[in-house]
């Protein structure tokens, strides 16, 4: 079965509007808020440590300049919880792992058609989460190297391995094989994959604009939470698009026997 971008987007919309998807969006929003809060606490601790250093090492005038220049940073941390550095880092990491676990469950739901909470499959969740985390680190390093030398190689790396987290779950495989499966899928469906990525980026931009409009006049903390909800919706919708695209690209033709995982194309 070939990858049809229109069908993939339509199926993704159907998946993202189910009860299961709405629950996953809510959970992903919570992890995003916690991660943002932890990041703001880490930033606050860093700025305050610089101020502590400046209090002892700078002149009164220089220290006042430091305070004046860092006040806007400290005054723009609406989600900060007041945690010390170590607890903030720990919270950030826990939220990251929880978010990746939600992504793994979401991919399975988008691939196999989970409509309700009871339909969600959490089997092998630890294995899938670990492989997406480690594979994501490898993917990030490859992207960094690609963009550090030339922009084009970085973009090529992004496109070639864009399906890797989906492949981890759908093919129930390790991150090394998933990276290879993504590479094969993209090379066999290069044009359609590029179009699918363009549509996904467009969806993300559209939801981002809507978020900016909605949160423009909201207080800082509320704006941060609402923005996280929009971001979670955008992330999972894009994930649904990529998942449906990968499933379609790898589904057997009607006259071919099914081998391995059976994909849902509803």
Task: Examine residue 261 and state whether it is found in any structural domain, yes or no.
Answer: no
Q: Is the pLDDT of residue 92 over 90?
A: yes
CB atoms within 10 A of CB 226: 15
Task: Examine residue 257 and state whether it is found in any structural domain, yes or no.
Answer: no
DSSP three-state, residue 80 = coil
Q: What is the pTM of this model?
A: 0.88
Would you state the structure tokens that stand for residue 120, as one six-digit string? Answer: 């969600």
Q: Is the pLDDT of residue 262 over 70?
A: no
Would you state the structure tokens that stand for residue 50, as one six-digit string? Answer: 């610089």
Task: Examine residue 256 and state whether it is found in any structural domain, yes or no.
Answer: no
How far is C-alpha 255 from the chain's CA centre? 36
Q: Is the pLDDT of residue 164 over 50?
A: yes
Provide the residue range defining the domain that includes 225. 5-250
Task: Examine residue 174 and state whether it is found in any structural domain, yes or no.
Answer: yes
Helix axes 5-16, 220-250, angle to 10 degrees: 130
List pLDDT tens digits, range 36-85.
999 999 999 999 999 999 988 888 888 899 999 999 999 989 999 999 99
Task: Examine residue 118 and state whether it is found in any structural domain, yes or no.
Answer: yes
Task: Examine residue 242 and state whether it is found in any structural domain, yes or no.
Answer: yes
For the chain, the distance separating the N- and C-terminal CA atoms, rounded to the nearest angstrom, is 13
Report how many domains make up the chain. Answer: 1
% of the chain residues with pLDDT over 90: 77
List pLDDT tens digits, range 128-159.
999 999 999 999 998 888 888 777 788 888 99
Task: Examine residue 53 and state whether it is found in any structural domain, yes or no.
Answer: yes
Average pLDDT over residues 77-103: 95
Give the burial string for 145-155 (b: 16+ CB within 10 Å, else e): ebeeeeeeebe
Cβ atoms of 227 and 211 closer than 8 Å: yes
Q: Is the pLDDT of residue 257 over 80?
A: no
Task: Examine residue 92 and state whether it is found in any structural domain, yes or no.
Answer: yes
3-state secondary structure 97-150: HHHHHHHHHHHHHHHHCCCCHHHCCCCCHHHHHHHHHHHHHHHHHHHHHHHHHC
% of the chain residues with pLDDT over 70: 94
């Amino acid at each position: 079965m070939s990858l049809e971008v229109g069908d993939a987007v339509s199926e993704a919309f159907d998946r993202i509007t189910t009860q299961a998807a709405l629950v996953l969006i809510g959970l992903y929003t919570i992890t995003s808020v916690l991660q943002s809060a932890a990041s703001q606490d880490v930033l606050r601790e860093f700025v305050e440590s610089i101020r502590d250093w400046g209090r002892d090492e700078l002149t009164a005038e220089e220290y006042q300049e430091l305070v004046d220049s860092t006040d806007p940073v400290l005054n723009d941390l609406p989600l900060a919880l007041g945690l010390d550095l170590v607890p903030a880092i720990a919270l950030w990491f826990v939220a990251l792992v929880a978010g990746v676990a939600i992504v793994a469950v979401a991919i399975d739901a988008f691939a196999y058609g989970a409509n309700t909470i009871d339909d969600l499959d959490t089997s092998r969740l630890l294995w899938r989460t670990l492989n997406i985390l480690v594979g994501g680190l490898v993917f990030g390093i490859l992207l960094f190297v690609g963009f550090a030398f030339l922009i084009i190689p970085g973009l090529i790396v992004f496109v070639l391995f864009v399906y890797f987290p989906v492949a981890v779950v759908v093919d129930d495989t390790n991150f090394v094989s998933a990276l290879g499966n993504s590479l094969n899928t993209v090379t066999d469906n290069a044009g359609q994959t590029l179009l699918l990525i363009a549509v996904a980026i467009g969806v993300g931009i559209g939801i981002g604009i809507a978020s900016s409009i909605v949160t423009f006049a909201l207080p800082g903390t509320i704006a941060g939470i609402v923005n996280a909800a929009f971001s979670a919706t955008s992330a999972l919708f894009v994930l649904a698009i990529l998942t449906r695209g990968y499933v379609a690209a790898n589904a057997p033709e009607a006259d071919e026997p099914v081998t391995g995982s059976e994909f849902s194309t509803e």
